[in-house]
A and B are shown apart, each in its own frame.
Chain A
Amino acid sequence: MDFGDLVLLFVGAALINNFILSRFLGICAFLGVSNRLSTALGMGAAVVFVMTISGTLSWAIQNYILEPFNLPFLQNLIFILVIATLVQFLEMVIRRYSPALYEAFGIYLPLITTNCAILGVALLVAGSDYGLLETVVFAIGSGIGWTLAIVLMAGLREELEFADVPPSLQGSALSLLIAAIMSLTFIGFSGVVPAL
């Protein structure tokens, strides 16, 4: 796979098959922490970080444990277990060696442990024939796409605080409408690259 293919893979993961707006994964966090731009950015950074590492780890588990022993049905179970362990472990290490980063991630790191987008990357990687490098690119692209969607959402919601919204649409109703319209626009990316 050459460099061009990797770029395509990245764009495909970030925009065309955007995790929130095309695959509808990680919606809970998308709606829950998109009230402020700064918190959305913090959450996004944590997702990119965890997604990359857990995606890579899942790739290793799939290729070195599940496939040799013919145990594909263990995917969900083992990925959840390993990702949860990994995030806990990383939290301890970061807290010990980089208090600044720990403060920046704050509550978001443990929050996304069981985020479905994280598990989604693991399962998609396991179901594909990606190599290590492709897995990393795919995971980073997915994370950045997720961040892009939540940051856009947070920006919109910050502006909406000043709008006069009818009572029946206030809160989650309007958020879901906005998410739907954003999703429609992102569907426009599909077909840009015929192979993806």
Chain B
Amino acid sequence: MLSSIMAATLSMGVVAILSALLLVWASRRFAVQEDPRVELLANLLPQANCGACGFSGCSGFARAAVEGKAPADGCKAGGPAVAARVAELLGVSVPSVKRQVAHVFCNGTHALAKRTGEYRGLADCRAAELVSGGGKACTYGCLGLGTCVAACPFGALTLGSEGLPIVDKEKCTGCGLCVQVCPRGIIKLVDYDQRTFVNCVSPAPGKLVRQVCQGGCIACNICERTCEYDAIHVIDNLAVVNAELCTACGKCAAKCPTHVIEWQVQEGREPAAAAAAS
């Protein structure tokens, strides 16, 4: 009895010690030198592994950036703050990048957009787009099945009760994954500071737009005439805001007959349009 306990303890102990020694020896003998900057850099990244940089996850980007194969500001999700820290670590200068966020360019809520049928298939906009356009009469409008919501790794998109996705500007990192998955190209990246948007992408003439949606841009030119800063123009039956010239006064939004122009009230600023309207 005792001898078998002794034998068991001894043989296990010897095997365990030998294994440990082998691993210690091997970890020194076969050590692979890795650039310590890779790990430091990986720690700076958001670790969301969204892949917007074009590399396989954050560690892939870190390796590529250290090797000089990726630009310092390649991390879209991290934005300028991460880009600055990455650049500092790598000792390169980085051009200042404006923070970008996603914006949904469609105003076709359940109440405003006309429907031609009911779509009962795979709950994915790309699938709906392939069959019949998902039941919405407007062939340019949001299908509202939430493919962009599912694609967002940061939880910045939610599907509103009106049937349109809502972007949380604070959570959005501008990685552009939703832009890629939207089969209708409704989501675009815009400057974080932009306040005025024409929430329609339909290039159809006003008459046709009216037939399918009460909230679309009908190219009536009222906004163009209203704008004092030459910042909004109707191009191809669609009003387009020039973000460089727009002062976010909100007058065009107040005059728009279909309310397709969205004007986000800026904190700490006097709402000029509200004053003008009253």
Interface string of B11-27 (1 = CB under 8 A from A): 11001100110110011
A82 touches B15 (CB 8 A): yes
B12 touches A77 (CB 8 A): yes
A24 beta carbon closer than 8 Å to chain B: no
Name the interface residues of A68-82: CB closer than 8 Å to any CB of B.
Answer: 69-71, 73-74, 77-78, 81-82
Closest to A162 in B: B122
B32 beta carbon closer than 8 Å to chain A: yes
Name the interface residues of A54-84: CB closer than 8 Å to any CB of B.
Answer: 61, 65, 69-71, 73-74, 77-78, 81-82
A93 touches B8 (CB 8 A): no
A71 touches B11 (CB 8 A): yes
A85 touches B32 (CB 8 A): no
Cβ contact of B12, chosen from A70, A74, A92, A97, cutoff 8 A: A74
A70 touches B4 (CB 8 A): yes
B40 beta carbon closer than 8 Å to chain A: no
Evaluate whether A89 and B16 lie within 8 angstroms (CB atoms) in the complex, with A71-B7, A74-B8, A96-B32 already known.
Answer: no
B23 touches A88 (CB 8 A): yes
Evaluate whether A85 and B12 lie within 8 angstroms (CB atoms) in the complex, with A69-B7, A164-B122 already known.
Answer: no
Whole-angstrom distance between the alpha carbons of A78 and B26 in the complex? 20
Evaluate whether A70 and B7 lie within 8 angstroms (CB atoms) in the complex, with A78-B12, A81-B15, A89-B23 already known.
Answer: yes
Query: Within 8 Å CB of A95, what residues of B?
Result: 30, 32
Query: Within 8 Å CB of B32, what residues of A?
Result: 95-96
- Closest approach, in angstroms, between the C-beta of B146 and any C-beta of chain A? 16
Closest to B18 in A: A85
Interface SS of chain B? helix
A85 touches B30 (CB 8 A): no
- Closest approach, in angstroms, between the C-beta of B29 and any C-beta of chain A? 8
Interface string of A97-111 (1 = CB under 8 A from B): 100000000000000
Cβ contact of B4, chosen from A71, A78, A82, A96, cutoff 8 A: A71
Most buried by B among A73, A92, A164: A92
Query: Within 8 Å CB of B11, what residues of A?
Result: 65, 69, 71, 74, 78
Whole-angstrom distance between the alpha carbons of A77 and B11 in the complex? 11
Closest to A163 in B: B122
Whole-angstrom distance between the alpha carbons of A81 and B16 in the complex? 7
Query: Within 8 Å CB of A89, what residues of B?
Result: 22-23, 26
Closest to A90 in B: B26
Query: Within 8 Å CB of A82, what residues of B?
Result: 15, 19
- Closest approach, in angstroms, between the C-beta of A163 and any C-beta of chain B? 10
Cβ contact of A81, chosen from B8, B19, B31, B121, cutoff 8 A: B19
Whole-angstrom distance between the alpha carbons of A69 and B7 in the complex? 7
A-B contact pairs, 9 of them (CB 8 A): A69-B7, A71-B7, A77-B12, A92-B26, A92-B30, A93-B26, A95-B30, A96-B31, A97-B30
Q: List residues of chain A with CB under 8 Å of any chain B CB.
A: 61, 65, 69-71, 73-74, 77-78, 81-82, 85, 88-89, 92-93, 95-97, 164
Q: List residues of chain B with CB under 8 Å of any chain A CB.
A: 4, 7-8, 11-12, 15-16, 19-20, 22-23, 26-27, 30-32, 121-122
**12 further A-B pairs in the complex, CB-CB below 8 A; given A81-B12, A81-B16, A82-B19:** A65-B11, A65-B15, A70-B4, A71-B7, A71-B11, A73-B8, A85-B20, A88-B26, A92-B26, A92-B27, A92-B30, A95-B30
